[in-house]
Amino acid sequence: MASVIKPSKSDRAFNVFVVASLVLLFIILFIPIWSTITLSFRPNDFIGSALDGMTLPPWRWSVAAFRALLGNNSFVKATINSFRIFFEGIAAALLLTTPLAYALSIKTLPGRKFLYLFVIIPYLFDVGLVPNYLLVTGLGLTNKLAAVYLPGAISVYNTLIMKSFFEGIPEELKESARIDGASEFTVLMRIILPLSKPIMLTIGLYYGVRFWNDFFNAMLYLNDSALQPLPILLRNILLSSGMNEYVEVSAFGEAPIEAIKAASVLLAAIPMLVAYPFIQKYFVKGTMLGSLKG
């Protein structure tokens, strides 16, 4: 029973320090984000400095940039593609990562050390663009969405985190099941997996974010414009250069170009931002159990 101890002077100073730090951090985090938000609502006739831009009153804000983007057919298609990559990728990644991580976590598994070595070695050798390109195209994955997530469907980093999580599940649970005659398969299915929701969501999100933001694989392997996901579209918008010499028309109408850029980035980030709060509680629990055993 914790007794209520009056906070000492040094404890109060500590609390003040913590709160002050967080407020400072809040400001540091907020200002750049706020600058992006105000940039995305910037009207076409704005003149002024950055400070002026960030303090522009809301009635002067313009939604032209968002309207242009959401009305753009490619933008909608690209979003759908990104969602497909996101969900398919997570499914593939979890299906492939989980057995491996679990196998590595079983201390009594014969050959575990070799498996571990087998898994760790590629982690240290970034072989670069060409060897991977030769493989992926050789497998016939060109112009298939899977080319974006399949090469990265098992990440050693995530596997190790998942392994830690499995190691953190009390051995007694497994033992008692074994004593009752359960096979390893049953142990996995009946005991381990039901407890694994937090880590699945966590690792799933780790993978998902990476697949969502990928543009390099998409650029290399997806030739068909109908398949291109958001990052490619974004990159074309944000980095358009001399090739688009049809400078007399804009694909986006009335909004200033920097508003388009800011708005497109915000729109692309929204799904992630919306998803996270929902799984936040599982997420933290999952990482927590995964990290205990280091």
Q: Which of residues 76-115 bind another protein (CB under 8 A)?
A: 77, 95-97, 99-100, 102-103, 106-115
Q: Which is nearer to another protein, 84 or 226 (CB)?
A: 226
Closest CA to 65 of 269, 266, 259: 259
Count each helix (H run) and each strand (E run) in the chain, helices first.
Answer: 15, 0
- Other Cβ atoms closer than 10 A to 200: 18
Out of 60, 70, 80, 123, name the contact with another protein by CB under 8 A.
123
* DSSP notation for 21-75: HHHHHHHHHHHHHHHHHHHHT--TT----HHHHHT--GGG---HHHHHHHH-HHH
The answer to whether residue 274 forms part of the interface with another protein (CB under 8 A) is: no
CB closer to another protein, 59 vs 249: 249
- Cβ 84 to another protein, closest distance in Å? 18
* CA angle in degrees (0–180, nearest 5) for 206-273-259: 120
Q: How far is the CB of 41 from another protein (least distance, A)?
A: 14
Q: Is 252 in the site for another protein (CB under 8 A)?
A: yes
Which residue in the set 6, 58, 59, 138 belongs to the binding site for another protein (CB under 8 A)?
138
Choice from 58, 181, 194, 241 touching another protein (CB under 8 A) = 241
Question: Going by C-beta distance under 8 Å and a sequence separation of 6 or more, which residues neighbour residue 42?
Answer: 53, 56, 61, 62, 65, 255, 256, 258, 259, 262
Q: Are 38 and 54 in contact (CB under 8 A)?
A: yes
The number of residues that bind another protein (CB under 8 A) is 143
Should residue 278 be labelled a site residue for another protein when binding is judged by CB under 8 A? no
Contact status: 203 vs another protein (CB under 8 A): no
Among 71, 190, 193, 278, binds another protein (CB under 8 A): 71
Q: Interface with another protein includes 193 (CB under 8 A)?
A: no
Q: How far is the CB of 57 from another protein (least distance, A)?
A: 18
User: Under rule CB under 8 A, which residues in 29-48 are in contact with another protein?
Assistant: 29-33, 35-36, 39, 44-48
What is the rounded end-to-end Cα distance, in angstroms, of the chain? 30
